[in-house]
A and B are shown apart, each in its own frame.
Chain A
Amino acid sequence: MDLQTLWFAAVAVLWTGFLLLEGFDFGVAALLPVLGRRTADRHLMLRTIGPVWDGNEVWLITATGAVFAAFPGWYATWLPALYLPFVLVLLGLIVRAVAFEWRHGSHDPRWDATWTRVITGGSLVAAAGVGAALGATTLGLPIDADGVRVGGAFAGLGRASLLGAAAVVGFSLVHGALFLALKTDGPLRLRARAFALRWSPVAALPLLAWAGLVQLRSGTAVTAVLWLVAALAVVVTWTRVRRDREGQAFAGWATVLLASTATLFGAAFPVVVPSTIDPAFDVTIAQASVSDYTLTVMTWVAAVGLPVVLAYQAWTYWVFRRRLTAEPTHDDTRVAA
């Protein structure tokens, strides 16, 4: 495998890692008004993601950084073409990040409630925006031969972006519910399970449709099999939730994402930004890539750095592995401390 292909795979892994990890904290945040009926429930939900959301968000920064580092031609075509959606993502992420910390700033319950709503809103906007951007980069943007967007500010926003947005939001909602079912106990755990049981078949549809469209455009036999795995994993997830096997259901839903993104990136390869104007204007990894020297340097850095990152992030999840409940026990106190 040449270095450009390797880095295309690395970028795919980073985006998948981002969706897999940040997906559940987006989902938990979005479900706050749905599953968090009492203030205590909402606090409990926030505590499940409290120690990890910031680390998860770094996956987005690293994924974007890796696109810039390995394929500046992709970065410089994709971002300005979707200028406004990306700005929305940034606004959503900014308000959400400060809300996580600042909501403790006052005793006024309205203060806390306001920031909690900001977390929900910011997370939904960010999830939808990221989905829209990814949808467009796999299904096409109106770019000319120089990779410059044609047609004004909203030209990049088509059905592809809407589908991508729905896919990421839908995936995150069920992912968040399953995470809550796994991480909490008591009535909230039951409600989260019920949500996942009811909505997982529906929520998977946009993601499967998106992967299916890219598959139909440019898929191979391998990616066709991956798509079938994704579809099958939806069924498995549903049956596992039905039998109250939360761990297996969570793994099943994660498989839906892994197989879908593998289909998406695998089928799109080697095109990173398809042009809706003329296929001759498609940006490919060969055109977008940096030199082999730089890719070699980055390969060494990533080969050393990434396993270390994975190790300590895994350790964080191990440290905070205990289930949380709304009625604190002595141990629970220490969890939150």
Chain B
Amino acid sequence: MDVLDIARWQFGITTVYHFLMVPLTIGLGILVAVVHTQWVRTGKPEYLRMTRFWGRVYLVNFVLGVATGLVQEFQFGLAWSEYSRFVGDVFGSLLAMEALLAFFLESTFLGLWIFGWGRIPKKLHLATLWAAVIGSIVSAYFIIAANSWMQHPVGVTVGDDGRPQQVDFLAVLTNNTALAAFSHAVVAALVVAGALLVGIGLYQLRRRKLADRPTTDVDHAVWRRSVRLGGFVSLAAFVLVAVTGDWQGKLMYQQQPLKMSSAEALCETEAPAPFSVFAWAKLGSNECDDVHSYTVPGLLSFLAHGDFSTAVPGVNELQEEYSEVYGATYPDDPSFGDRAGETIDYTPVLAVTYWSFRLMIGMGGVSAGVAAYALWSTRRGRVPTSRIGVYGSLLAVGAPFVANATGWIFTEMGRQPFVVHPNPDVPVGEQVYFFTAQAVSPGVTAAEVWTSLISLGLLYGALAVVELFLLVRLVRTGVTTGDTTPTPPAVGSSHRDDGSDDDPRPGDDRADDDVLSFAY
């Protein structure tokens, strides 16, 4: 592999990994803030315990999101310096604004929330959490605006140096691609959080029932409300995911038709165009004509244009069209490295676009099904004990994560071979576009990128193991006695000198655990 390939793998791995934490941070942050608000409003003990328990889960995950997000800020410069030079007039300012307007808000107020229990007035303390959550959402907005500009560059002209020059900042912020993608990502984040509440809540309810624990105490209410809240949020958010996804899809048919036709492996232009349900292809071939699929007639025309008859352009025709406009081969220019003069394949990897698109939709559907099951099986105070139902729901916590990841893989891989895709609304001569092949840092050696890819990969793998271990522990432990009061018990018990706490007194140890999870 050359530097370009290694750098692409590195970007893909670190970004997909980072985006496992992001939707949970956004979605769970909103839900924790909601239950915290409910506690402040009603004073009901179960809301306090929910805030504390889900807050702990939120924090364990948040910190890994922050840590892996650092890499994102730097790797545009490290491995993609030519990209950074090219898009500098637009892209960098969005990242800087994200840091200034969102990251500070998020991290400063989260510190206040963690350490503020019992120290700042109750309502102000609640406000610190909302500020942190709003910070996360604003952060998502700026980074998606930056990404959407790469998908659909607006608000720029071509400068004297051939690079995009920003002329309309508001157009960049209100890019229709960004508005659609942002709303899609935020509701998808709520599906993730809802699925987590459902899966863990059902597990705890079942466990309590099998142990003959009362259904009248506060802890029962904690898990029951978690399941109900998670189920409703997940189901409602799924509907919104479908609506925003449809909006985004229709935009993409105009802005990046080749991405969308690749998602269907639709080779020839068809009217009405069918939607493919399942497909198989010759192994190793990226020729569209080698793909065979089962289809639903007319459905694709409907998804793309809102009726059952309009034509949808096929991959083969679009490939020819792109070759004519943007060149059949990469320019014979040193900035393209080894790839100068090579034929350009404008079709993204069909197997990836086709299956990531289906996994995204399918796993979103699984989440909705599980949410519906959870609401049904807990109706009027019932507690499900079905092993398949409950453990299936626990397993299905992973489904919306897969949907989020494959959604982004589809978006990013579907844009290839461009890193900045031309905007079709602009006359061809004035378009801004940039090939991925020319984006990589020219002076960086393959050994350097291997070093960072391997070291980050190993570290990320180890961190994933620890994060899962910690989350499983938290879930098994459930609500602790410390969660029953807003002011945690004395810190004295946290001074675990000389390893004497190997066998702590039963009552203390839970309280201690709690203090430590919220304080340092």
Chain A residues with CB under 8 Å of chain B are 38-40, 43, 46-47, 50-52, 54-55, 57-58, 61-62, 64-66, 68-70, 72-73, 75-81, 83-84, 86-87, 90-91, 93-95, 97-98, 100-102, 104-110, 112, 146, 148-150, 152-153, 290-291, 293-294, 297-298, 301-302, 305-306, 309, 312-313, 316, 319-320, 326, 328, 332-337
Could you tell me if A93 and B67 are in contact, using CB atoms closer than 8 angstroms?
yes
Scoring B residues 476 to 520 as 1 if CB is less than 8 Å from chain A, else 0, what string do you get? Answer: 000000000001111110111111011010000100110111111
Q: How far is the CB of B441 from chain A (nearest CB, A)?
A: 4
Chain B residues contacting A309 (CB-CB under 8 Å) are: 100, 104-105, 108
Interface flag for B41 (CB, 8 Å): no
Q: How far is the CB of A286 from chain B (nearest CB, A)?
A: 13
CA A298 to CA B74, docked complex, whole Å: 20
B119 & A334 in contact (Cβ 8 Å cutoff): yes
Once the chains are docked, how many angstroms separate the CA of A152 from the CA of B115?
47
- Chain A residues, CB < 8 A from B70: 57, 61, 90, 93-94, 97
Contacts of A105 in B (CB 8 A): 60, 466, 469-470, 473
Known: A54-B107, A104-B516, A150-B443. A94 touches B67 (CB 8 A): yes
Cβ-neighbour of A101 out of B59, B76, B119, B513 (below 8 A): B59
Write the nearest CB–CB distance from A264 to chain B, whole angstroms.
21
Q: B448 and A148: CB pair below 8 A?
A: no
Q: Which of B78, B119, B459 is A83 in contact with, Cβ under 8 Å?
A: B78
* 5 tightest Cβ-Cβ pairs between the two chains A and B: A72-B88, A79-B77, A50-B520, A68-B92, A65-B96
Asked if B90 is an interface residue, CB under 8 A from chain A, the answer is yes
Chain A residues within an 8 Å CB radius of B166: 290-291, 293-294, 297
Which residues of the other chain, A, contact B445 by a CB distance below 8 angstroms?
Answer: 152-153
For chains A and B in complex, what number of residue pairs have CB atoms within 8 angstroms? 281
B32 CB to closest chain A CB (Å) equals 15
Report whether A69 and B96 are in contact in the complex, using a CB–CB cutoff of 8 Å. yes
Docked Cα-Cα span, A40 to B496, in Å, equals 7
Tell me whether A78 and B77 are in contact (CB under 8 A). Answer: yes
B498 and chain A: residue at smallest CB distance: A39
15 new A-B contacts at CB < 8 Å, known A93-B70, A106-B473: A43-B520, A55-B104, A58-B99, A65-B96, A65-B99, A68-B77, A87-B451, A87-B456, A107-B509, A108-B502, A150-B443, A152-B445, A290-B93, A294-B93, A337-B488
Count of chain B residues with Cβ under 8 Å from any Cβ of A?
Answer: 99
Could you say which residues of chain A place their CB within 8 Å of the CB of B104?
Answer: 55, 58, 62, 309, 312-313
CA distance A306 to B469 in the complex (A): 39
0 or 1 for each of B93-109: is its CB under 8 Å from A? (1 = yes): 11111111101110111
* B455 touches A (CB below 8 Å): yes
* Given A69-B93, A290-B93, A334-B487, residue A98 in contact with residue B443 (CB < 8 A): no
Tell me which of B459, B469, B487, B494 contacts A91 (CB under 8 A).
B459
A98 touches B114 (CB 8 A): no
Give B168-188 interface residues, CB cut-off 8 Å to A: 169
**Does any Cβ of A come within 8 Å of B337's Cβ?**
no
Interface pair A337/B100, CB less than 8 Å apart: no
Report A-chain residues with C-beta under 8 Å of the C-beta of B516.
Answer: 104
A80 close to B119 (CB less than 8 A) = no
Given A70-B92, A312-B109, A100–B63 Cβ distance below 8 Å? Answer: yes
Chain A positions within 8 Å of B85 at CB level: 72-73, 76
Partner of A316, one of B99, B112, B165, B466: B112
Partner of A54, one of B66, B92, B504: B66
